[in-house]
Chain A
Amino acid sequence: MEDLQVFSRLRGSASLPCLDTAKTFKTNYTWCLLFLFRLEEYSAETAIAMVVDGDAKLKINTEHLREISFRIGSIYQFIGELLIQPDNQAVLQARVGRNVDGINLSLYHQSLQLLRQFEANRLKNPMT
């Protein structure tokens, strides 16, 4: 339940595509999410990473990721599927991930807002 509350906080509105810190794309069958978070904990044994963004925490299953080394305190970008487990815990099953240390987080968040406005305007005024 705690994780779901975290996700409620992350949602800008009721829909998944409006996650505050996530970009989204849709595959054939499932919503996939892109997260940008700082690594707080990582277990090489279980391949589970715990990442944080402010007060929000998210568990990432990194078992499918190769060629990526995890450093506590570094910033990572993950794309994967969000799974809600029977105990209501949310886990991102990461498909791809990379270290993005050096990213300008302020620019990222501002640009994401502009991107959403741009996309919303484009949907209102479709191209011909």
Chain B
Amino acid sequence: MDHPLYNTHVKLLASDLLSLTPVPSSNPNPVSFSRNGTLLSRAETVGTVISRDLRPEKYLKFVVDDGTACVGCILWLNHLSSPYFSRRCAPDVRIIAQAANRFASEVKLGAVARVRGRITMYRSEVQITVSDVVVDRDPNAEILHWLDCMRLARRCYDVVAPRK
């Protein structure tokens, strides 16, 4: 496999995430991102929610600070009105919409959130298009995330996979 981490939610520090380089690719594949030559498309971050902008039935924008930088996150809430989702199976879309609304209600200012999603660009800034959010109540969660990120960067992400 050329890019073994491509579909993995890689744990990255926010400062690391914001320094990814976008790599344009042909449709239907979305833009991917390069970290030292390794192609990535998904990420996981953990940090304190420091801003929150809710537009009901449209989106929730929030910013997560992990102590190294701040990452913008967008959680779409327009599943029931978006033409994109109208082509998909209605019961599935309803389940996705319910989950998104639940995530939105859990993302509160000051909460420590574990956010997973696709890495995307908005106004030239890297952000996360959210797939799921878990509010972490363990007071050591942020610290353990730092340690995970550093260990994985050294032992896994910095080791560039050989290309075929």
Contact = CB atoms under 8 A, between A and B. Distances in A.
A102 B15 contact: no
A115 to B, nearest CB: 5
A102 B139 CA distance: 6
Nearest to B19: A127
B143 A107 contact: yes
Contact of A119 (B68, B111, B140): B68
A23 B142 CA distance: 12
B10 to A, nearest CB: 13
Interface stretch (A7-15, A44-52, A92-100): A92-100
B21 interface: yes
Interface in A77-92: 77, 79
A114 B145 CA distance: 13
B36 A128 contact: yes
A127 B143 contact: no
A101 B140 CA distance: 10
Contacts of B156: none
B109 interface: yes
Contacts of A126: 19
Interface residues of B, number: 31
A77 B48 CA distance: 10
B50 A96 contact: yes
Given A79-B48, A111-B146, A111-B147, A25 B139 contact: no
Contacts of B20: 127
Given A126-B19, A128-B21, A104 B143 contact: yes
A98 to B, nearest CB: 5
A79 B150 CA distance: 23
Given A79-B50, A107-B143, A114 B150 contact: yes
A101 B139 contact: yes
A124 interface: no
Contacts of B77: none
Interface string A19-57: 000011101000000100000000000000000000000
Interface of B: 13, 15-16, 19-21, 34-37, 48-50, 65, 67-70, 108-112, 138-140, 143, 146-147, 150, 153
18 contacts: A25-B65, A25-B68, A34-B67, A75-B139, A79-B65, A95-B109, A96-B49, A96-B50, A96-B110, A98-B48, A98-B110, A98-B112, A101-B139, A102-B138, A104-B143, A114-B146, A115-B67, A115-B146
Interface of A: 23-25, 27, 34, 65, 67-68, 75, 77, 79, 95-98, 100-104, 107-108, 111, 114-115, 118-119, 122, 126-128
